[in-house]
């Protein structure tokens, strides 16, 4: 009976109820959409960071990641990758060499972050030829010691496809090594910093230059869908740490702490704003119900005289709020869902705010298009929090209504 | 006091609880906006400072060719007299000449690619805050080390960590010189830097400009002059003044393509400049959202209270109060309500902002991952808000406008009552 009574009571003051519902609906839908867009951009940033780091789980010589020191290597990297592939939950293990180096031509020298990879294996993480604008693929070229260069660097060095460049780097033993490479092609990502420093070569070519045939600096591990990264990392530690050189196994959380730190901070700010917004909404609701109770003193008095106990009158007020909240949350959810679908479908390019390239946590992000994604647990928590806040804000009014004395209430005149 | 105001205040006092609750909502919204403005100001300050004060400076002078495409041989001659000409301008506070090189720095174990900046230690300290970032050892000494000793170098913390060196350790630098030869020299680490500028902290090495000129075969020439101006916002004006002065000097005989150009940091760091203007506009959106919710609160309260007091209004109108006057009373009520709430919110927001401006907001509260970098600026540890009269006053004033606007409709509806049926209770 109470819900029906509550429903009727709500619509007796239509404008007021609609205003209240719209306030809750609006802020609730806004919160959900903000979470959806935030989670999606965070995911994109994280993906970019993980891609830049080299995999979901990274295997290095112990101490490598914090120093990127070229002497901390995995001397038998291919075997490490092979053993990692045998661990359950591993989708692919990608051996690669990261080498800070100088690339020089007659026109100058440029510092590069050289990545030596097996292009076919690397494809499991990223297609390095995606940004190839001129020349040939590393796995298709007939050139000996091929190298792909960022287009801005190539322009600065005034080199052309097929041209020669000299690579200078410190070898595994710390001795400076110089080697001749042939330019196979140019890469253009559109991000200035990347196009100035990017260079790819094959593992074979790098080994040729460094006089070696198995050493890598990193094995990037990709996990199969549904695998717990922490558990897998532990299994890899077990499987790889036993013999040979000491290794470090890092999950992406440990590998890109800066990005994780940014995302957690950004989320925290969203929650602070959401909390204050709902304090404002809660004040409005508390107010409305307080007024409603005063206004309906006679009505409550009558109900009381008819035998409805004080407590049940209090419950009636709470049920009214609950019904109002349900309607607001229902409508808000529908609006948020529509917003989510629309944003996810069309996307919002951040370029419309005049932002093109940005650097975040050491990762260069360009031309990001914000879409939306639903994190079920977060949406549930937000919904419950909104419902508790709105219903909770009517408690004061409910207590007041419950304490009315029937005889006095009936005598009350406006 | 005006009758409307007196009536308005009395009416609000008559419904203490209702007024307090509405005030609370308004105050929370205003406090949030005050804090947002103070925090955004502090954040932007940190961005501009981190990006310009540490390394870039506010204005830079290069040769036209170098500005177009940096090359180690695109250098120019700049003596003390030239630098003094620039600092003589009222817009320019200090000038620092620099040599910019890229090379491999390392020891027998490992090496890293580094940006090498050759600087005049004294002028650099006057121009940028880089020396304040020394966390280990010391800044470069006033003049280069004795020729029998290794050259002094100060490393960014990331570079020092990657090379696993500390003050006292020796390093070798290897780079391409201006004449195409490969220059190398022995260095000794004298200090380690942590400045908050990620480019400096991650991969930059500072050395004496004379040492850098020698290893890069630059023959006393430099690549860049960094200038400090008092207000980063006015850097474009300062750049224009410098450009005018350079043009006057160029008149002394430099051909066009060898001329010098002056660029403000807004041109040198366009990405950062974009982000700053976006962040400055982003709080408009916040205003809209937060104040819209607060406005609904005021609207609702006013509407309810008018509804409840319709008989009272009926009587007032019946005894001759003009509807326009009634409208005035109700709008004043909303205004007083908004004003009290806004003042309370301004106070609360001001106190919290002041607290975050003096003690800082510890980012580790939000994440256990430490700091992060954004557009080349490191955000780590505590972030300080910036208190200003504008940051407090603006949200308060905007709320007054919002309060009047959201009070208008309920007041309009209430002022149009028909006295007779209302008094009779037939509405």
User: Could you report the per-residue pLDDT of B264-300, keeping only the tens digit for each?
Assistant: 998 888 878 888 888 777 778 888 888 888 888 888 8
A348 at interface of B, judged by CB pairs closer than 8 A: no
Cβ atoms within 10 Å, residue B324: 8
What mean pLDDT do residues A327-339 have?
95
What residue spans define the domains of chain B?
A: 3-52+272-424, 59-228
> For residue A57, which of A262, A246, A237 has the smallest C-alpha distance?
A237
Q: What pTM, to 2 d.p., does this model score? A: 0.83
The pLDDT of residue B256 is above 60: no
Indicate if A69 and A157 belong to the same structural domain: yes
Confidence of residue B391 (pLDDT cuts 50, 70, 90): confident
The answer to whether the CB of A258 falls within 8 A of the CB of A361 is yes
CA distance linking residue A244 with residue A99, whole number of Å: 22
Residue A299 belongs to domain spanning: 2-50+259-411
CA distance linking residue A342 with residue A322, whole number of Å: 29
B300 vs A288: CB contact, 8 Å cut-off?
yes
What mean pLDDT do residues B153-165 have?
91
Cβ atoms within 10 Å, residue A388: 12
What mean pLDDT do residues B146-164 have?
90
What mean pLDDT do residues A233-257 have?
84
Phi, psi of B114 (to 5 degrees): -140, 155
Longest dimension (CA), chain B: 107
Q: Is A251 a domain residue?
A: no
A69 vs B367: CB contact, 8 Å cut-off?
no
A71 at interface of B, judged by CB pairs closer than 8 A: yes
Indicate if A273 and A401 belong to the same structural domain: yes
| B377 compared with A36, residue with greater pLDDT | A36
Question: What's the CA dihedral at B397, B402, B405, B406 to 10 degrees?
Answer: -140
Final residue of a domain: which of A194, A217, A245? A245
> For residue A199, which of A161, A151, A241, A158 has the smallest C-alpha distance?
A151
B366 vs A291: CB contact, 8 Å cut-off?
no
Q: For residue B4, what pLDDT is reported?
A: 74
Confidence of residue B117 (pLDDT cuts 50, 70, 90): very high
Q: For residue A97, what pLDDT is reported?
A: 93
Q: For residue B376, what pLDDT is reported?
A: 76
Instruction: Give the three-class secondary structure for A31.
Output: helix
DSSP 8-state class, residue B69? S
> For residue B289, which of A287, A31, A353 has the smallest C-alpha distance?
A31
pLDDT in tens, B328-376: 888 888 888 899 999 999 999 999 999 999 988 888 888 777 778 887 7
A100 at interface of B, judged by CB pairs closer than 8 A: yes
Confidence of residue A59 (pLDDT cuts 50, 70, 90): very high
Residues in CB range of A109: below 8 A, 6 or more apart: A102, A103, A157, A168, B102, B103, B175, B176
A106 at interface of B, judged by CB pairs closer than 8 A: yes
Compute the nearest-CA separation of A66 from chain B (Å).
Answer: 7
CA distance linking residue A58 with residue A60, whole number of Å: 7
Q: Which residues on neighbouring strands pair with residue B271, listed in sequence order?
A: none
What mean pLDDT do residues A180-197 have?
88
Indicate if A236 and A96 belong to the same structural domain: yes
Q: For residue B258, what pLDDT is reported?
A: 66
Indicate if A20 and A116 belong to the same structural domain: no
> For residue A147, which of A159, A156, B181 has the smallest C-alpha distance?
A159
SS (H, E, C) B375-402: CCEEECCEECCCCCHHHHHHHHHHHHHH
The pLDDT of residue A268 is above 80: yes
Indicate if A221 and A98 belong to the same structural domain: yes
The pLDDT of residue A62 is above 50: yes
pLDDT in tens, B15-70: 788 888 888 889 999 999 999 899 888 888 888 888 888 888 899 999 888 888 88
A16 vs B303: CB contact, 8 Å cut-off?
yes
Q: Is A55 a domain residue?
A: no
Chain B residues lying within 8 Å of A100, measured CB to CB: 104, 111-113
A112 at interface of B, judged by CB pairs closer than 8 A: yes
Complex ipTM, two decimals?
Answer: 0.80
Indicate if A221 and A80 belong to the same structural domain: yes
Q: A146-150 and A176-187: which strand pairing?
A: parallel
Instruction: Give the three-class secondary structure for A149.
Output: strand
CA distance linking residue A26 with residue B397, whole number of Å: 24
Phi-psi region of A12 (alpha: psi -120 to 50; beta: other; left: phi over 0): alpha
Residues in CB range of A231: below 8 A, 6 or more apart: A89
| A186 compared with A361, residue with greater pLDDT | A186
pLDDT in tens, A269-315: 888 888 888 888 888 888 877 877 777 778 888 888 888 888 888 88
pLDDT in tens, B211-245: 999 999 998 899 999 999 988 888 999 999 998 88
Which DSSP helix (H) or strand (E) runs through B331? helix B323-358
Q: Is A350 a domain residue?
A: yes
Residues in CB range of A86: below 8 A, 6 or more apart: A239
Give DSSP secondary structure letters for A358-392.
EEETTEEEES-EE-----HHHHHHHHHHHHHHHHH
The answer to whether the CB of B331 falls within 8 A of the CB of B407 is yes
Q: For residue B419, what pLDDT is reported?
A: 81
Q: Which of A105, A197, A287, A296 to mutate to test the interface with B (most CBs of B within 10 A)?
A: A287
Indicate if A171 and A138 belong to the same structural domain: yes
Q: For residue A218, what pLDDT is reported?
A: 93
Quickly tell me which residue has 């301004």 as its tokens: B346
Compute the nearest-CA separation of A276 from chain B (Å).
Answer: 7
Q: For residue A405, what pLDDT is reported?
A: 73
Q: Which of B110, B166, B422 to mutate to test the interface with A (most CBs of A within 10 A)?
A: B110
Q: What percent of chain A is predicted at pLDDT more than 90?
A: 25
Chain A residues lying within 8 Å of B163, measured CB to CB: 67, 69
Strands (E), A53-144: 57-61, 90-105, 108-117, 132-135
Compute the nearest-CA separation of A254 from chain B (Å).
Answer: 9
| B253 compared with A34, residue with greater pLDDT | A34
Indicate if A44 and A87 belong to the same structural domain: no
Indicate if A118 and A151 belong to the same structural domain: yes
| A356 compared with B154, residue with greater pLDDT | B154
Q: B151-156 and B260-264: which strand pairing?
A: unpaired
Q: For residue A412, what pLDDT is reported?
A: 56
Q: For residue A304, what pLDDT is reported?
A: 81
The answer to whether the CB of A392 falls within 8 A of the CB of A384 is no
Helical pair A14-53 and B270-308, crossing angle rounded to 10 deg = 160
The pLDDT of residue A150 is above 80: yes
Q: For residue A411, what pLDDT is reported?
A: 66
Question: What's the CA dihedral at B363, B366, B368, B373 to 10 degrees?
Answer: -50
Q: What percent of chain B is predicted at pLDDT more than 70?
A: 97
Compute the nearest-CA separation of A29 from chain B (Å).
Answer: 12
Q: For residue A414, what pLDDT is reported?
A: 47
Q: Which of B71, B104, B164 to mutate to test the interface with A (most CBs of A within 10 A)?
A: B104
Structure tokens given for A248: 């470090």
Cβ atoms within 10 Å, residue B109: 15
Q: Is A250 a domain residue?
A: no
> For residue A202, which of A120, A94, A119 has the smallest C-alpha distance?
A119
Indicate if A227 and A327 belong to the same structural domain: no
Indicate if A198 and A306 belong to the same structural domain: no
Handedness of CA A290, A296, A300, A303 (dihedral sign): negative
Compute the nearest-CA separation of B209 from chain A (Å).
Answer: 20
> For residue B298, which of B400, B393, B392, B397 has the smallest C-alpha distance?
B400
The pLDDT of residue A196 is above 70: yes
Indicate if A86 and A221 belong to the same structural domain: yes
CA distance linking residue A126 with residue A187, whole number of Å: 14
Q: B182-193 and B134-137: which strand pairing?
A: antiparallel
Instruction: Give the three-class secondary structure for A158.
Output: coil
Among candidates A100, A260, A358 on the partner chain, residue whose Cβ is nearest the Cβ of B271: A358
The pLDDT of residue B382 is above 90: no
How wide is the angle at C-alpha B293 spanned by C-alphas B338 and A316, nearest 5°? 100
The pLDDT of residue A335 is above 90: yes
Give DSSP secondary structure letters for B128-171.
-SGGGGEEEE-PPPSSPPPTTSPEEEEEEHHHHHHHT--TT-EE
Question: What percentage of chain B's residues is helix, strand, coil (to nearest 5)?
Answer: 55, 20, 25
Q: How far is CA A85 from the centre of its chain?
A: 27
In terms of Cβ atoms closer than 10 Å to its own Cβ (0-12, 13-18, 19+), residue B69 is exposed
- Number of independent structural domains in chain A: 2
CA distance linking residue A191 with residue A152, whole number of Å: 10
Q: Which of A261, A288, A367, A395 to mutate to test the interface with B (most CBs of B within 10 A)?
A: A261
The answer to whether the CB of A119 falls within 8 A of the CB of A170 is no
């Amino acid at each position: 009976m109470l819900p029906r009574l509550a429903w009727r009571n709500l619509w007796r003051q239509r404008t007021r109820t609609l205003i209240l519902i719209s306030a809750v609906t609006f802020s609730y839908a806004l919160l959900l959409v903000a979470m959806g867009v935030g989670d999606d951009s965070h995911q994109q940033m994280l993906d970019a960071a993980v891609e830049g780091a080299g995999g979901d789980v990274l295997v290095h010589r112990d101490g490598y990641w914090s120093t990127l020191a070229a002497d901390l290597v995995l001397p038998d990297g291919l075997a490490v990758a092979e053993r990692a592939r045998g661990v359950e939950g591993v989708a692919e293990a990608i051996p690669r060499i990261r080498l800070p180096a100088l690339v020089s031509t007659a026109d100058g020298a440029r510092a590069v972050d050289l990545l030596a990879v097996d292009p076919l294996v690397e494809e499991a993480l990223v297609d390095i030829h995606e940004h190839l604008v001129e020349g040939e693929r590393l796995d298709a070229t007939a050139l000996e010691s091929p190298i792909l260069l960022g287009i801005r660097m190539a322009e600065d060095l005034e080199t052309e496809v097929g041209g020669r460049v000299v690579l200078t780097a410190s070898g595994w033993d710390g001795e400076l090594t110089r080697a001749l490479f042939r330019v196979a092609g140019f890469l253009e990502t559109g991000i200035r910093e990347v196009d100035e420093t990017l260079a790819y070569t094959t593992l074979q070519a790098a080994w040729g230059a460094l006089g070696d045939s198995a050493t890598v600096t990193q094995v990037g591990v990709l996990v199969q869908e549904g695998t717990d990264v922490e558990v897998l990392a532990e299994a890899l530690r077990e499987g790889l740490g036993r013999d040979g050189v000491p290794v470090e196994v890092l999950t992406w959380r440990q590998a890109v702490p800066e990005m994780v730190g940014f995302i957690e901070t950004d989320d925290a700010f969203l929650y602070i704003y959401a909390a204050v917004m709902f304090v404002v909404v809660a004040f409005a609701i508390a107010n409305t119900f307080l007024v409603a109770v005063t206004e309906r003193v006679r009505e409550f008095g009558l109900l009381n005289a008819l035998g409805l106990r004080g407590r049940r009158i209090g419950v009636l007020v709470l049920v009214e709020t609950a019904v109002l909240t349900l309607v607001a949350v229902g409508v808000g959810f529908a609006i948020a869902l529509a917003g989510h679908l629309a944003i996810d479908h069309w996307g919002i390019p951040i370029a419309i705010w005049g932002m093109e390239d940005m650097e975040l946590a050491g990762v260069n992000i360009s031309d990001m298009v914000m879409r939306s994604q639903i994190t079920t647990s977060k949406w549930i928590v937000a919904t419950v929090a909104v419902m508790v806040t709105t219903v909770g804000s009517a408690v004061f009014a409910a207590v007041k209504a419950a304490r009315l004395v029937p005889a006095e209430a009936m005598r009350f005149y406006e | 006091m005006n009758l409307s105001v007196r009536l308005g205040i009395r009416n609000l006092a008559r419904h203490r609880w209702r007024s307090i609750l509405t005030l609370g909502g308004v105050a929370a919204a205003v406090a949030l906006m005050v804090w947002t403005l103070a925090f955004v100001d502090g954040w932007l300050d940190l961005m501009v400072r981190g990006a310009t004060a540490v390394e870039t400076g506010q204005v830079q002078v290069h040769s036209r060719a170098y500005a177009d495409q940096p090359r180690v041989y695109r250098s120019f001659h700049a003596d003390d007299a030239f630098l003094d000409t620039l600092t003589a301008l009222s817009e320019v506070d200090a000038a620092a000449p620099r040599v910019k090189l890229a090379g491999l720095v390392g020891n027998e174990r490992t090496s890293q690619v580094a940006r090498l900046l050759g600087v005049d230690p004294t002028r650099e300290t006057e121009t940028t805050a880089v020396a304040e970032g020394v966390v280990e050892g010391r800044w470069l000494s006033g003049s280069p080390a004795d020729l029998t000793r290794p050259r002094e170098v100060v490393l960014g913390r990331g570079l020092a960590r990657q090379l696993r060196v500390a003050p006292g350790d020796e390093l070798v630098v290897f780079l391409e010189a201006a004449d195409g030869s490969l220059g190398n020299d022995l260095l000794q680490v004298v200090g380690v830097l942590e400045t908050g500028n990620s480019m400096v902290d991650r991969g930059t090495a500072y050395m004496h400009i004379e040492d850098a000129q020698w290893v890069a075969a630059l023959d006393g020439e430099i690549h860049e002059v960094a200038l400090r101006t008092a207000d980063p916002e006015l850097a474009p004006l300062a750049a224009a003044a410098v450009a005018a002065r350079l043009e006057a000097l160029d008149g002394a005989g430099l051909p066009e393509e060898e001329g010098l150009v002056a660029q403000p940091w807004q041109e040198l760091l366009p990405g950062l400049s974009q982000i700053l203007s976006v962040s400055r506009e982003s709080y408009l959106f916040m205003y809209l959202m937060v104040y819209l919710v607060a406005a609904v609160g005021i609207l609702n309260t006013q509407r309810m209270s008018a509804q409840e007091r319709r008989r009272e209004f009926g009587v007032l109108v019946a005894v001759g109060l003009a509807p326009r006057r009634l409208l005035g009373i109700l709008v004043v009520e909303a205004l007083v309500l908004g004003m009290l709430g806004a003042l309370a919110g301004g106070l609360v927001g001001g106190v919290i902002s002041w607290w975050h401006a003096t003690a800082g907001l510890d980012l580790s509260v939000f994440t256990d991952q430490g700091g992060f970098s954004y557009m080349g600026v490191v955000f780590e540890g505590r972030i300080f808000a910036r208190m200003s009269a504008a940051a407090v006053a603006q949200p308060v004033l905007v709320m007054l406008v919002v309060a009047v606007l959201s009070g208008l409709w309920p007041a309009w509806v209430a002022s149009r009552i028909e006295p007779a049926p209302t008094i009779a209770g037939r509405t």
